[in-house]
Copies of this chain bind each other. A is one copy, B any other.
Amino acid sequence: MKNGAIPDNINQLNAEERIEFLFNFLALEVLDMRDVSIIGVGTTPFSKHKERGIADLSLEAGRKAIEDAGIDKSKIEALYLGNYAAEALVGQGSLAAITGRNLGLGQIPCTRTEGACASAGIALRESFLTIAAGIYDVVIAVGAEQMSTCSTGVVTSVLAGAGDTTMDNIYGLTFPGFFGLVLRKHMEEFGTTRDQVSCVSVKNHHNGATNPIAYLKDEITVEGVNESRFIADPLTLYDCCPITDGAVAMVLCPSDMARDLCKKPVKVVGSGHAIGTTSILQMESFTTFPATLKAAEMAYQMAGVKPEDIDVVELHDCFTIAEIVDSEDLGLFEKGEGGPAVESGRTAVDGELPINPSGGLISRGHPVGATGLAQVYELVLQLKGEAANQVKNPELGLAHNLGGSGAVSTVHILSKDF
């Protein structure tokens, strides 16, 4: 794809060389991807919606996104829906087709994508790729999960299925147990302190308290986190994201079209999707996730930006320690600097690099298959200057979604296009 550069000696080329140049030059155009933008977003409140069905949640989010985009729904050519485990949690499969049908989208291809807790990040990526490559023009990405109708034990068991059940779960490992190990190792390797880790929870609860769609609205103190009951030593209750129901949707189209349709389109300038290790027996380190490293590298490279160019971040804080590890894996801080960064306020809404101004998974909640799009929803509001906890004039936002014990990750970089 890089053959298309214009050579310095272009005027000295002979006829054959000119033809070769022309072919290469045109090939650059042929293979070049189209820019893609988000023109409308919608979400349900994140909460425990025990009285509703999951298809009702995905319908609400989808309707709001289409309304926000102001587009005739007959223009939508495909639907990708992120969902982790509706069959196991609420007995509902085929949610993509049901959502497409309920939204009145005609007979368009509707595909559910799953990659553990990164299911919605993958739905966004497939929407982005198919538009960028010219397969579709307008696509709706949806993410949904309903978890509160099951017991906590059932939810923990179903979530544990995102790990390699034959290799890890036979030892009784659950996700709180795994991230407890990560915290212990991070403390040992980098001197990260209990108070630093608690500061993630304090910050994210503080942000969530003023985010209208967040589930948890109570502030918490460092002492409150430290002294709450153990879930998986050393993780306490407030180190963990809550079981939540919710759905998010967004409409995407080529950026050229977006500028005509929308006053404030937000461009997807980078997209990465990678796997890492799927069993803890394969992990070389407990304090870094190779899937994040690779997905971030792909997204930064596509966007042509560096970590220091990012103005606002929504990352995958399924547990407090995950926010610290992720912020380091994304290159936002040096290894071991993630804890001090949050403690010193550098990642607060008014800090130098705001992380999870929405409240993150810890306070907004973590309806697993919706989270990847909930992060992007927040970034779209941030870039448009319409967020509840507005960061000052952000130009570039980064969304990081993580699945399993670091088994899969997506990273998307978004830019104002107005």
Chain A interface residues toward B at CB < 8 A: 26, 29-31, 53, 55-56, 83-88, 90-94, 96-98, 100-102, 107-116, 122, 125-126, 129-130, 132-135, 157-158, 160-166, 169, 273-278, 282, 290-291, 294, 403-404, 407-408
Contacts and interface: CB of A to CB of B under 8 A. Distances in A.
A278 B59 CA distance: 14
B407 A97 contact: yes
- A-B complex: 10 closest residue pairs judged by Cβ atoms: A133-B133, A109-B273, A88-B88, A87-B88, A94-B116, A85-B87, A112-B114, A107-B274, A93-B161, A97-B275
B109 A278 contact: no
A408 B94 contact: yes
A113 B115 contact: no
A403 B97 CA distance: 10
A114 B115 contact: no
Contacts of A92: 161, 165
A98 B157 contact: no
19 contacts: A56-B166, A83-B114, A84-B87, A87-B158, A88-B88, A88-B91, A91-B158, A91-B160, A92-B165, A94-B114, A94-B163, A94-B404, A96-B115, A101-B278, A101-B407, A109-B125, A111-B122, A130-B130, A133-B135
Contacts of A276: 107
Contacts of A91: 88, 157-158, 160-161, 165, 169
Contacts of A93: 84-85, 114, 116, 158, 161-162, 404
Copies of this chain present? 2
B112 A55 contact: no
A388 B244 CA distance: 51
A166 B51 CA distance: 12
Contacts of A407: 94, 97-98, 101
Contacts of A130: 129-130, 133
A166 B55 contact: yes
Given A84-B93, A157-B91, A278-B94, A126 B111 contact: yes
A320 to B, nearest CB: 23
A53 B165 contact: yes
Contacts of A158: 87, 91, 93
A330 to B, nearest CB: 16
B109 A274 contact: yes
Contacts of A26: 26, 29
Nearest to A276: B107
A124 to B, nearest CB: 12
Contacts of A291: 107
Contacts of A273: 109, 111
B116 A113 contact: no
Given A98-B164, A110-B408, 20 more contacts: A53-B166, A87-B87, A88-B88, A94-B114, A97-B115, A97-B278, A97-B403, A101-B278, A101-B407, A107-B294, A109-B122, A109-B275, A110-B115, A110-B275, A111-B126, A112-B113, A112-B115, A126-B126, A129-B130, A130-B130
A165 B114 CA distance: 20
Contacts of A98: 164, 278, 407
Contacts of A114: 83, 93-94, 96, 111-114
A87 B161 contact: yes
A61 to B, nearest CB: 17
B85 A275 contact: no
A277 B31 CA distance: 37
A210 to B, nearest CB: 33
Contacts of A87: 84-85, 87-88, 158, 161
B94 A403 contact: yes
Chain B CB within 10 A, most for which of A97, A129, A169: A97
A108 B295 CA distance: 9
Chain B CB within 10 A, most for which of A91, A93, A108: A93
Contacts of A135: 129, 132-133
